[in-house]
Amino acid sequence: MKAFATKAAAAAIVVFARAVTAVRAIWPEDGLPSRPCIYFANHSSHGDFVLVWAVLPPRLRNRTRPVAGAEYWLKSRLNRFIGRDVFNAVLITRERDKRTEDPVAQMASTIDTGSSLILFPEGTRNQSDAPLLPFKSGIFHLVTARPDIDLVPVWINNLNRVMPKGEIVPIPLICTVTFGRALRFLPDEAKDAFLARMQSALLALAPKPVGGSE
């Protein structure tokens, strides 16, 4: 019964997301890795992972789990149902002193079970005018623990305009989700160099600003 409810809810959320945003995926020329990988994306809305999840081919989608903040997704029964049951999120505790588990170990063991991750390395939703916030170091610690994993940059465009923070009604604008070529951690790469390389690979996927604005 519950399995059916989560399947139906997942399908309904995907249909709704597609109907509102007419979302279109842009794939890299050589396709997505077929092995488990880390999709890392820019973060501006709670709907971000839904959009990535919705455009992934079902075969890959079924074993892809978003990484999300436990504080938000365990807040209410509905949040719990959507975050934990429907999307099977890997829930990590943001505040260091409240942690019972190490987030990097949680993510690494999820990868070991054959799952891919959707990760937002900015750590929080970007409300600034800058295209991207500086990455947190979690993704670096994760790849030093699992250095062979493919890292796929994913740029989500326009969703912040569809549903800005604090609004209730979504504006049906067209969103695109652009997947880049898979990257790897280089042996002995320093933390700052690695994070800078990941940030610029992600930013390279962002479309030039439209609207004729300066």
Partner 1 sequence: MSAASSDLLTLVAGIFGVLILASTVGYVLQQRLSPAGSNASIENLNARIKAWWIMVVLIGIAFVAGRVGVLILFGFCSFAALREFVTLINTRRADHWALATAFFIVVPVQYYLLWAEEYGIFSIFIPVYAFLLMPIISVLRGDTERFLIRIAEVQWALMICVFCASHVPALLTLNIPGYEGRNVLLIAFLVIVVQLSDVLQYVWGKLFGHTKIAPKLSPSKTVEGFVGGVLSATLIGAALWWITPFTPGEAGLLAFIITLMGFFGGLVMSAIKRDRGIKDWGNLIEGHGGLIDRLDSVVFSAPIFFHIVRYWWSL
- Binding residues for partner 1 (CB under 8 A): 22, 24, 158, 161, 164, 167, 169, 171-174, 208, 210-213
Task: Choose between 31 and 164: whose C-beta lies nearer to partner 1.
Answer: 164
Please state the closest distance from residue 127 (CB atom) to partner 1, in A.
10
Which residue lies nearer to partner 1 by CB, 196 or 203?
A: 203
Q: How far is the CB of 88 from partner 1 (least distance, A)?
A: 31
Q: Looking at beta carbons only, is 158 or 178 nearer to partner 1? A: 158
Shortest spacing between CB 165 and partner 1, in angstroms: 9
Tokens, residue 54:
């919705």
How far is C-alpha 37 from the chain's CA centre?
A: 12
CA distance 114 to 78: 28
Shortest distance, position 46 Cβ to partner 1, whole Å: 16
Nearer to partner 1, 95 or 214 (CB): 214
C-alpha to C-alpha distances, 168 to 1, 54, 125, 163, 165, nearest whole angstrom: 30, 21, 17, 7, 9
Tell me phi and psi for residue 102, to 5 degrees. Answer: -80, 120
How far is Cα 116 from Cα 35, in angstroms, rounded to an integer? 8
